[in-house]
A and B are shown apart, each in its own frame.
Chain A
């Protein structure tokens, strides 16, 4: 099937690290993505990782890819209140279609 799976909710204290996990389905996906959706807004591309990489770091964001287990994770260091949003994991299907997970709602508490 084409179900990208991710946990639905994550609550984290301000200043702590957040880790959002995702399992994807297509081992031939060349790119994997993390998108962020704030209330009332569209989806913003946060970062992506090429399938031949294990890790990608971009400022406070670290993406880890385990191709063997088809597992993708996003770590947000020093989580801030502005990081409260829904985070979507997505994979490329057939080189053109982004298939999204259900989204993880991250709530940052003071």
Chain B
């Protein structure tokens, strides 16, 4: 157990739907990062939050949004889902900036049918 908790582990939904992925960071970690892992794109950085504020955006689609709450858990919202959004979505956390690397959760596997 890495200390980073992601729910749900698996999600199957239809095109056009909206889903919310949840992440609880490791205790004491203030930064949360979201990554998408797909076969064709590899691991793509989506977004980072630090202590409730958005710090950096990567290759995140406009249909996707995220937030970090006062208790530091984070949610990634994916809307108007397309088949191509099927992927593993990872959350990671770190104390501050990521000098010593991130700690990853076990991911949420999203399948859009």
Measuring CB to CB, which residues of chain A are less than 8 angstroms from any residue of chain B? 30-31, 33, 35, 40-45, 48, 88, 90, 92, 94-103
Q: How far is the CB of A11 from chain B (nearest CB, A)?
A: 20
Q: How far is the CB of A100 from chain B (nearest CB, A)?
A: 4
Query: Which one, B2, B42, B98, B99, contacts A100 given CB within 8 A?
Result: B42
Does A95 lie within 8 Å of B101, measured CB to CB?
Answer: no
Q: Which 10 A-B pairs have the closest CB atoms?
A: A42-B104, A100-B43, A43-B104, A45-B101, A42-B106, A102-B42, A33-B101, A97-B45, A42-B107, A42-B105
B16 within 8 A of A: no
18 interchain pairs (CB within 8 A)? Answer: A30-B99, A31-B99, A42-B90, A42-B105, A42-B107, A43-B43, A43-B90, A43-B92, A43-B104, A45-B103, A95-B97, A96-B55, A96-B97, A97-B45, A97-B48, A97-B56, A98-B33, A98-B45
Known: A43-B92, A98-B102, A102-B42. 12 other contacts (CB 8 A): A35-B104, A42-B2, A42-B104, A42-B105, A43-B90, A44-B104, A45-B103, A96-B48, A97-B45, A97-B48, A98-B98, A100-B42
Which of under 10, 10 to 19, 20 to 34, or 35 or more describes the interface residues of B?
20 to 34
Main DSSP-derived SS at the A contact region: strand
Q: How far is the CB of A68 from chain B (nearest CB, A)?
A: 23
CA distance A31 to B42 in the complex (A): 21
The residue on A at minimum CB distance from B4 is A42
Does B107 lie within 8 Å of A98, measured CB to CB?
Answer: no
- CB-CB < 8 A to B56: which residues of A? 94, 96-97
Chain B 79-113, CB within 8 Å of chain A: the 1/0 string?
Answer: 00000000000101000011111111111000000
CA distance A99 to B58 in the complex (A): 10
Does A41 lie within 8 Å of B106, measured CB to CB?
Answer: yes
The residue on B at minimum CB distance from A102 is B42
Given contacts A88-B43, A103-B42, contact A98 B101 (CB under 8 A): yes
- CB-CB < 8 A to B98: which residues of A? 92, 96-98
Does B58 lie within 8 Å of A97, measured CB to CB?
Answer: yes
Q: How far is the CB of A8 from chain B (nearest CB, A)?
A: 11
CA distance A96 to B102 in the complex (A): 10
